[in-house]
Amino acid sequence: MAGHRHIRMLVALAGLAMLGPVISAQQLTIRLVHGKTGKPMTNRNVTVTFLLEEPGKTGRNKAGHTEESTDIVLHIDGTGSARVDVPANATTFLLRGGPKMGKEPGRIPYTDCNMTGSPLLDVATVLRQGFVPGNECSTRLKIGAAPGEIVYFAMPLPWWKPDFQ
């Protein structure tokens, strides 16, 4: 009997070990791309707002879901991208430019070139196929996205344009 328990326990542990990769956190990659040149824009911030399903919550929004949100500010590195872990209960998210680097984070960090503004994106769809919005700064620039990747088109503010919100 004791031998059978050990075998069952080992089989159960092996099964859990195989589930490890399935349970692990999923990541999104945000690429900040210059809207005219297609080159990476570096050393800037992008804010990701995840909408989180709250199963035990009683209040519902217009779509009939129970949601809360969490903002995560990502620093775009020297390669023009940043990664973020998707919270386990996240269903949708949106992206916003900023906050601006430096002493005045409330100012406009860069021009948003995305045609859709900040659409609500489905986590599962982006993880499966990626997302590239329309680009208001150039109709000739063609860029693709890998699964789990979002392209965010932007342009630096010209020196003569005020950066007040």
C-alpha–C-alpha distance, residues 118 and 32, integer Å: 14
Residue 21 lies in a domain: no
Residue 60 lies in a domain: yes
C-alpha–C-alpha distance, residues 34 and 17, integer Å: 43
Encode pLDDT of 19-78 as tens digits.
444 445 799 999 999 999 999 999 988 999 998 876 655 555 555 444 688 889 999 999
The pairing of strands 27-34 and 149-155 is parallel
Residue 8 lies in a domain: no
Residue 46 lies in a domain: yes
Residues pairing with 152 in the sheet? 32
Q: Is the pTM of this model over 0.85?
A: no
The DSSP-derived string for 80-143 is SEEEEEPPTTEEEEEEEE-PPSSS-TTS--SEE-BTTSSPPEEHHHHHHH-B---BTT-SS---
Owning domain of residue 88:
26-155
Count structural domains, the chain. 1
Residue 74 lies in a domain: yes
Higher pLDDT residue, 117 or 72? 72
Residue 131 lies in a domain: yes
Residue 40 lies in a domain: yes
Residue 16 has what pLDDT? 45
